[in-house]
Amino acid sequence: MSTRKNILITALLGATWMVALAFGARVLFKYETTPGSVGPISAAWPSVSMIRRQTDKPTLLMLAHPRCPCTRASIGELAEIMAHSVGKVNAFVLFVKPPGADVTWDDTDLRRSAADIPGVTVLSDENGVEAARFGAETSGHTLVFDRNGTLVFSGGITASRGHAGPNAGENAILAAVKQEPIQYSRTPVFGCSLTKCKSATEGKLCSK
């Protein structure tokens, strides 16, 4: 009887463990594949912006949270894009800086990684003004405007949250830079919220 009881308990524990694993995997998958929000996106470059758009080549703009771990993959994909677009695009990464943040708040390894990409200019977006202006509400949101200031791409450049590798957004941007047909001009954005970080104390990590 004791042996049977032990077997039954072991079986129940094993079944419970399998159910817990399946539930955890489902939750994780949903989290990784649920895109972030996107605000109103203008079809043309805003009339007011801290960035001076040049007309000699397309302009790429990424809005990001300097402490978002999910955005590391987006920065990695941006490096891949720039490696194939040398001299063909003006690229900027704006890191949102919430009210009350000191000068070191956005001095992170993520920002330094972006600054190390050849051809990319990194700037601070004080109070998220530029993010709101361009309709970016999720870290990693990337936009491309042609030489005339017309929006040709808006979205994310990862296939899911924190996932590095080839994806529709990256392919679309490379096509836009080469002035080739774009298959997808809009893609989902996966990353931390830019709009939920209202202050420096709240903005340490906004991943949900």
Cα–Cα distance, 140 to 38 (Å, whole number): 11
Cα–Cα distance, 176 to 2 (Å, whole number): 70
Long-range contacts of 103-107 (CB under 8 A, 24+ apart): 105/66, 105/200, 105/203, 106/66, 106/67, 107/66
Instruction: State the pTM of this model.
Output: 0.80
What CATH superfamily classification does 36-208 receive?
Glutaredoxin (3.40.30.10)
Domain-wise residue ranges, the chain: 1-33, 36-208
Summarised one tens digit per residue, pLDDT across range 18-48 is: 655 554 544 444 445 676 887 889 899 998 8
The three-state secondary structure class of 90 is: strand
**Residue 30 confidence (pLDDT):** 42
Task: Report the pLDDT averaged over residues 166-178.
Answer: 93
60 DSSP assignment: E
**Residue 11 confidence (pLDDT):** 65
